[in-house]
Structure 1
């Protein structure tokens, strides 16, 4: 599963979704879905904008962990 660290990164900087949307021009809905880890896809220009804004690499925002279970999925048979 892919883990998105946007909420942690924003929390460390005490930023709200509205702050990032205003500063970057990104859609609030897009940021909200990333923040709550409900996004099913991410456009490359969004990643580019977030990496520039947070001065980070894509790997700082997203992490692949094959052992994580996606939210809402039940692992019991």
Structure 2
């Protein structure tokens, strides 16, 4: 399963810049709809596009593996 690290990236950016970073700000800066960002952050197993991953990588200035990572599903769970 792919796990998105959006919440962690937002928290890290806020800490580094000593301010609160919101989904609304990320949405405004990236052009990604706020609902999509919310689903990425909160919905287990959400499926998104490479275009959105690209925008998140550029916004947070990180490599893809910082935005999304593969984690094995515990046996019997989806």
TM-score by length of 1: 0.78
- Secondary structure in 1 matching 2:56: helix
Match of 2:18 in 1: none
Q: Report the number of matched residues.
A: 71
Distance 1:55 1:35, change over 3 A: same
Contact 2:5 2:68 in 1 (8 A): yes
- Secondary structure in 2 matching 1:63: strand
User: Take 1:59 and 1:65, find their aligned partners in 2: how far apart are those partners?
Assistant: 12
User: Take 2:51 and 2:73, find their aligned partners in 1: how far apart are those partners?
Assistant: 28
| Runs of 5+ consecutive residues of structure 2 not aligned to the other structure | 15-20
What RMSD over aligned residues (CA atoms) do the two structures have, in Å?
2.0
TM-score by length of 2: 0.77
Aligned with residue 27 of structure 1, among 29, 33, 55: 33
More helix as a share of residues: 2
- Spell out structure 1 runs of 4+ moving beyond 2 A: 37-40
| Runs of 5+ consecutive residues of structure 1 not aligned to the other structure | none
